[in-house]
Amino acid sequence: MKCYPHKEIRFEVSMESFQNKSAARLDLAKTAMLVDEVENAYAPKRWKVISSSEYSQKGELVFPIMAKPKKMKLSLFVPDEVILEWDLTL
């Protein structure tokens, strides 16, 4: 995760699937959501593919900046839901 003050939050995401080729072709801008500690949901601004192959994809998922969240949760629906959480108060 990279945070650019007053601009955006970026997550570098790598996906690989040898069983489901279509999982490596997903547009994460359509299947992701960022949620803060008070359940405000943020849609991605864009998904930028950095590299891809028949079975994998790597890219940058970009969200608008959040106003100093204490916690955030990234949900990816690829094809099952994957949730990543951070406590930013530490």
- The CATH label, of 2.60.40, 2.60.120, 1.20.120, 1.10.238, for the domain at 2-87 is 2.60.40
* Per-residue pLDDT tens over the stretch 23-54: 667 888 998 999 999 999 999 999 999 998 88
Q: How far apart are CA 10 and CA 6, in angstroms?
A: 13
| pTM assigned to the model | 0.77
Q: How far apart are CA 18 and CA 25, in angstroms?
A: 12
Q: Which of 42, 61, 83 is nearest to 1 (CA)?
A: 61
